């Protein structure tokens, strides 16, 4: 007799200690179908029907015999076979699979953890990792994967795919979600981009995060309802912005401008991800002021910047930020440097007092910024007041501290008194 086919079919997949229906099917000629029995057995080479009952009468057609059996209580260790027999003597068999869920838990990497199970502690057998009660996890996935579909600069949106691979039962029953937490679902700022892409052994879901930062963490999390069974970290979704580790340096300075330069960013000494395509210079006068940005300098241009229309004899702080490609690619400002603009220098033998350290008397305000001339052994302003030190010392120095004295007869005071001190530059 020629047998065309033997088929075993589990009509449902159940948790351990549950009952299950299993079909055994024989296909062949009319003589085969009518002359052979097909039985469900616990053994492959003999009939062992402990705990097995025939559920219905055989469904027989000209070339097909189908018999349904029920097993009262199954476990993960049970084995069943559909056996062909004649007059009680078995001569061929086929294994029955997929009738009970696996109770082994997933660890944080999405792998099977044989020493832990997903049931309550009281019903978990720690030696085998199996549960002695109803389980909520079926079979371990073959793989959990996370894929960042693009790598972006901070504050940009990014698409991330979470992928689950495993048996049909796993793919159809477990959810795979993108979350900000590893052991719970936190989907703030996360939206599902497309419907799940599901095949027999694979589920892929794509999510979009509106704005990511370098500090963000994301996980592809396996879940069933509120229960979390495993997760995997998502990496490589955001670039680290570049930053120069050295200060800019001074090229030139005048009374109203400062020119700085800086070295190019390099991955050998600086932090961040390449490529760096430009630089943004910044400056400010007071620590309390906001930074003012200069024109962006492309990486292939001369790395110099001139800040103009500045105030004379003032400290200005300068810094430079490196910029990588794409929107949002500007990194943090590098270390700052402070540069002071020059005092105003008048033609010939005239000079201007730039700052007075003592502003307690109104006279100092009146005399501020008046040009000085050397007359009768003193440097004098247009109001007639005299300045010390003597001309010999002035002739030797470009920068010195001058003491302003006021004519007693003109001011109505005797003797003359000091009203302010400050630094000045002398043209020789």
Per-residue model confidence (pLDDT) at position 118: 46
H/E element holding 411? helix 408-411
Q: Residue 159 — very low, low, confident or very high, per pLDDT cuts 50/70/90?
A: very high
Q: What are phi and psi of 187, to 5 degrees?
A: -110, 30
**The pTM is what?**
0.51
More confident residue, 72 or 103: 72
Distance CA(395)–CA(167), nearest Å, equals 94
pLDDT tens-digit series, residues 379-422:
555 444 554 444 444 434 444 444 444 433 334 444 444 333 34
Distance CA(232)–CA(209), nearest Å, equals 17
CA atoms within 13 A on the CB side of 377: 0
Helix (H, G, I), strand (E, B), or coil: what is residue 4?
Answer: strand
pLDDT tens-digit series, residues 268-321:
999 999 999 999 999 999 888 999 999 999 999 999 999 999 999 899 999 999
Q: Residue 36 — very low, low, confident or very high, per pLDDT cuts 50/70/90?
A: confident
Distance CA(275)–CA(268), nearest Å, equals 13
**Per the structure block, which two tokens stand in for 374?**
């050397």
More confident residue, 47 or 389: 47
pLDDT tens-digit series, residues 314-371:
999 999 999 999 999 999 999 999 999 987 654 444 444 444 333 333 333 333 334 4
Instruction: Count the neighbouring beta carbons within 10 Å of the beta carbon of residue 345.
Output: 17
- Domain range list for the chain: 3-96, 102-238, 249-340, 351-425
> Is 211 a residue whose pLDDT tops 80?
yes
Instruction: Count the neighbouring beta carbons within 10 Å of the beta carbon of residue 80.
Output: 25
Choose the CATH number for 3-96 among 3.40.50.880, 2.60.40.10, 2.30.30.90, 3.40.309.10: 2.60.40.10
Domain 3-96 and domain 102-238, same fold? Reply is yes
Handedness of CA 53, 55, 56, 59 (dihedral sign): negative
> Is 219 a residue whose pLDDT tops 90?
yes
Per-residue model confidence (pLDDT) at position 366: 31
Residues forming a β-bridge with 125: 130
Residues 6+ apart with CB under 8 A from 421: 356, 357, 358, 401, 402, 403, 404
Per-residue model confidence (pLDDT) at position 357: 37
**Per the structure block, which two tokens stand in for 113?**
């953890």
Cα dihedral 169, 173, 174, 176 in deg (nearest 10): 110
**Nearest in space to 329 (alpha carbons), one of 373, 288, 259, 280:** 280
Percent of the chain exceeding pLDDT 90 equals 37
End-to-end CA distance of the chain: 125
**Per the structure block, which two tokens stand in for 359?**
């502003």
Instruction: Count the neighbouring beta carbons within 10 Å of the beta carbon of residue 360.
Output: 9
Per-residue model confidence (pLDDT) at position 110: 43
Percent of the chain exceeding pLDDT 70 equals 67
Cβ(170)–Cβ(141) under 8 Å? yes
Distance CA(176)–CA(260), nearest Å, equals 53
Choose the CATH number for 249-340 among 2.60.40.10, 1.10.3720.10, 3.40.50.261, 3.40.50.1820: 2.60.40.10
Cβ(221)–Cβ(229) under 8 Å? no
Class (C level, CATH) for 102-238: mainly beta
Helices (H) and strands (E) in the chain, counts: 5, 35
pLDDT tens-digit series, residues 106-156:
444 444 444 444 444 444 444 444 444 444 444 455 577 888 888 999 999
**Per the structure block, which two tokens stand in for 208?**
């979009």
Cβ(330)–Cβ(291) under 8 Å? no
Asked which of 210-214, 263-267, 334-338 is least confident by mean pLDDT, the reply is 210-214
């Amino acid at each position: 007799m020629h047998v065309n086919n033997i088929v075993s079919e589990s009509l449902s997949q159940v948790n351990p200690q549950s009952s299950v229906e299993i079909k055994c099917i024989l296909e062949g000629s009319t003589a085969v179908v009518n002359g052979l029995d097909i039985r469900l057995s616990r053994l492959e080479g003999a009939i062992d029907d402990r705990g097995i009952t025939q559920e219905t009468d055989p469904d027989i057609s000209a070339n097909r015999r189908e018999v349904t059996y029920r097993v009262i209580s199954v476990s993960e260790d049970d084995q069943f076979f559909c056996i062909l027999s004649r007059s009680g003597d078995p001569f061929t068999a086929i294994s029955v699979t997929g009738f009970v869920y696996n109770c082994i838990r997933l660890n944080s990497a999405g792998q099977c953890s044989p020493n832990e199970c997903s049931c309550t502690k009281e019903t978990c057998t720690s030696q085998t990792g199996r549960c002695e009660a109803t389980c909520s996890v079926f079979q371990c996935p073959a793989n959990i994967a996370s894929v960042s579909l693009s790598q972006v600069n901070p504050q940009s949106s990014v698409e991330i795919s979470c992928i689950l691979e495993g048996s049909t039962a796993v793919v159809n029953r477990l959810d795979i979600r993108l979350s900000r937490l590893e052991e719970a679902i936190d989907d703030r700022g996360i939206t599902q981009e497309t419907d799940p892409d599901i095949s027999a052994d694979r589920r892929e879901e794509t999510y979009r995060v509106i704005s990511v930062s370098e500090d963000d963490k994301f996980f592809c999390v396996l879940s069933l309802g509120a229960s979390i069974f495993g997760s995997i970290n998502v990496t490589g979704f955001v670039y680290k912005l570049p930053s120069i580790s050295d200060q800019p340096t001074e090229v030139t300075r005048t009374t109203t401008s400062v020119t700085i330069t800086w070295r190019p960013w390099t991955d050998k000494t600086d932090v961040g991800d390449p490529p760096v395509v430009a630089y943004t210079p910044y400056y400010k006068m007071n620590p309390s002021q906001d930074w003012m940005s200069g024109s962006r300098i492309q990486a292939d241009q001369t790395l110099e910047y001139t800040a103009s229309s500045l105030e004379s004899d003032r400290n200005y702080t300068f810094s430079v930020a490196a910029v990588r490609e794409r929107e949002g690619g500007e990194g943090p400002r590098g270390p700052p440097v402070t540069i002071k603009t020059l005092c105003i220098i008048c033609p010939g033998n005239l000079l201007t007092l730039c700052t007075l350290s003592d502003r307690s008397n109104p006279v100092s305000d009146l005399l501020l910024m008046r040009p000085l001339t050397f007359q009768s052994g003193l440097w004098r302003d247009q109001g007639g007041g005299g300045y010390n030190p003597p001309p010999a010392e002035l002739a030797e120095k470009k920068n010195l501290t001058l003491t302003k004295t006021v004519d007693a007869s003109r001011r109505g005071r005797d003797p003359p008194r000091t009203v302010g001190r400050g630094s000045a530059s002398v043209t020789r």
